[in-house]
Amino acid sequence: MRLDYLTIFPDYLAPLRLSLPGKAVDSGLLEIHVHDLRSWAHDKHRTVDDTPYGGGAGMVMKPEPWGEAFDALAVEPGDTIIFTTPSGERFDQRLAEDLATRGRLVFACGRYEGIDQRVIDHARSIAEVREISLGDYVLNGGEVAALAVTEAVVRLLPGFMGNAESLVEESHAASTGGLLEYPVYTKPPVWQGHEVPAVLRSGDHGAVARWRHDQARRRTAQRRPDLLAPSSIDDGSTIERAVPGDAAELMTLQRACWVQEALANPGAPIPAFHESVDDVRAWLGEWDTYVVRRAGRLVGAVRGRLEGPDGTAWDIGRIMVAPDLQGEGLGRALLEHIQAVAPAAATSYVLFTGAGSERNHKMYKKAGFRLRNDLPAPPGAVIFVKRRSRG
């Protein structure tokens, strides 16, 4: 991959030669060229900025030096010009993975109040253009963002990372379902009175993997619920927080879903049958409720809230999947999701279902829930409980 940088502060990009890319250059994996934009400003002061048309504070970068620079760098249609700008598309791992497929990236690092818009418009006529923002905060120029994008892209290049498989387990990597990383530990086993979690020294790889996954989901739920919100269902359906406007569809769906429960549990009272839209709207205000939509149709839902004597039991309920879509894993995904979004205070999960609802029993046991016949349950129902694994 070839990387070119256009900037009025070439020294700002000196780090490129230091860390990661340095080795890649030596191994021929990478070509790095940093160019001073003033090389294409020909007046005595090598001016690259001027006052903004329409007035206002600050200065704008003149178009001519950029145009000449693109010509001098022989930028061509197969190349990608990256303008780092606060008004760009948000940079993330998915975009990094996309840019890592390119042969040449040309970074246009602006300063002042920005670059004359005609430079971007012109660039679109000679190459692929991506306007990229590092994040929702204001920097003084585009160089820092160019450095960050470079590191995130170059480390994905085949043959670059010493141990490629470590890429697999990273935050935001598609392979981890976009979850944040789990906590990591190394020797000594006890430090400053802090012990390494016993499961990590157990040698039980299955238990370690389950612990790490749960830690990653818990961290993500607490720190970045937005990463969880989209969906952990890989068929394009989205899991979203329910809104009052979902009440009517929810009322309809639950009536459809509990018909099977009624058939599987003759004589058992089914509260879901007797709730009006207003009743549903009312309990939406008392429960954290999530709905699954597929092509706009509400096809599944689940709710959760803290209960129990000390408010540490995450009571899960109304797991529902449209009868015509059952058996595709939507129920399992909803059960996983509602556990993941449980607040930190939750130390256990509890739910009940019809005593005769064998298929539900199977799903809950597979998800690590235990049938607790010793606990009081609503008429015709049984209780399932699962301890929440702690670090």
- CA distances (Å), origin 139, targets 12, 306, 344, 370: 14, 42, 35, 53
Q: How far is residue 284 CA from its own chain's centroid?
A: 26
Is 342 within 8 Å of 304 (Cβ atoms)?
yes
Of 134 and 216, the one with the shorter C-beta distance to ligand JD8 is 134
Shortest distance, position 351 Cβ to ligand JD8, whole Å:
44
- Residue 217 engages ligand JD8 in binding (rule: CB under 6 A): no
272 CB-contact burial (10 Å; exposed 0-12 / middle 13-18 / buried 19+): buried
- Residue 135 engages ligand JD8 in binding (rule: CB under 6 A): yes
Binding part of the chain for ligand JD8, among 121-129, 139-147, 236-244, 363-371 by CB under 6 A, reads 139-147
Shortest distance, position 213 Cβ to ligand JD8, whole Å:
32
Beta strand 348-354 pairing with 128-133: unpaired
- Cite the annotated binding site for S-adenosyl-L-methionine by residue number: 110, 134-139
Interatomic CA distance for residues 135 and 357, integer angstroms: 48
Binding part of the chain for ligand JD8, among 108-116, 152-160, 310-318, 358-366 by CB under 6 A, reads 108-116
Shortest distance, position 176 Cβ to ligand JD8, whole Å:
25
Shortest distance, position 60 Cβ to ligand JD8, whole Å:
10
Q: Which of 239, 217, 209 is nearest to 171 (CA)?
A: 217
140 CB-contact burial (10 Å; exposed 0-12 / middle 13-18 / buried 19+): exposed
Among 7, 80, 133, 265, binds ligand JD8 (CB under 6 A): 133
Alpha helices in the chain (DSSP H): 15-18, 20-26, 63-72, 93-99, 117-124, 143-154, 165-168, 205-223, 225-228, 247-264, 277-284, 330-340, 358-366
Interatomic CA distance for residues 258 and 183, integer angstroms: 41
Quote the DSSP letter at residue 217.
H
Quote the DSSP letter at residue 115.
B
Of 83 and 258, the one with the shorter C-beta distance to ligand JD8 is 83
- Residue 140 engages ligand JD8 in binding (rule: CB under 6 A): yes
- Residue 21 engages ligand JD8 in binding (rule: CB under 6 A): no
Shortest distance, position 144 Cβ to ligand JD8, whole Å:
7
Binding part of the chain for ligand JD8, among 138-146, 160-168, 238-246, 327-335 by CB under 6 A, reads 138-146
Specify which residues 338 forms β-bridges with: none
Among 65, 142, 300, 304, binds ligand JD8 (CB under 6 A): 142
- Residue 145 engages ligand JD8 in binding (rule: CB under 6 A): yes
Match 């120029």 to its residue by tokens: 141
Among 25, 139, 196, 259, binds ligand JD8 (CB under 6 A): 139
Interatomic CA distance for residues 1 and 368, integer angstroms: 47
Shortest distance, position 172 Cβ to ligand JD8, whole Å:
17
Among 138, 184, 190, 344, binds ligand JD8 (CB under 6 A): 138
Binding part of the chain for ligand JD8, among 94-102, 111-119, 195-203, 285-293 by CB under 6 A, reads 111-119
Interatomic CA distance for residues 5 and 64, integer angstroms: 17
Of 23 and 90, the one with the shorter C-beta distance to ligand JD8 is 90
Quote the DSSP letter at residue 372.
-
Of 65 and 317, the one with the shorter C-beta distance to ligand JD8 is 65
Maximum Cα interatomic distance, the chain, rounded to a whole number of Å: 93
Of 70 and 258, the one with the shorter C-beta distance to ligand JD8 is 70
Shortest distance, position 301 Cβ to ligand JD8, whole Å:
37
Shortest distance, position 161 Cβ to ligand JD8, whole Å:
25
Token pair listed for 217: 């989901």
| Interface positions, 41-100, toward ligand JD8 (CB under 6 A) | 84-86, 88
Of 37 and 316, the one with the shorter C-beta distance to ligand JD8 is 37
Token pair listed for 227: 């990463």
Positions in the binding site for ligand JD8 (CB under 6 A): 84-86, 88, 110-114, 133-135, 137-142, 145
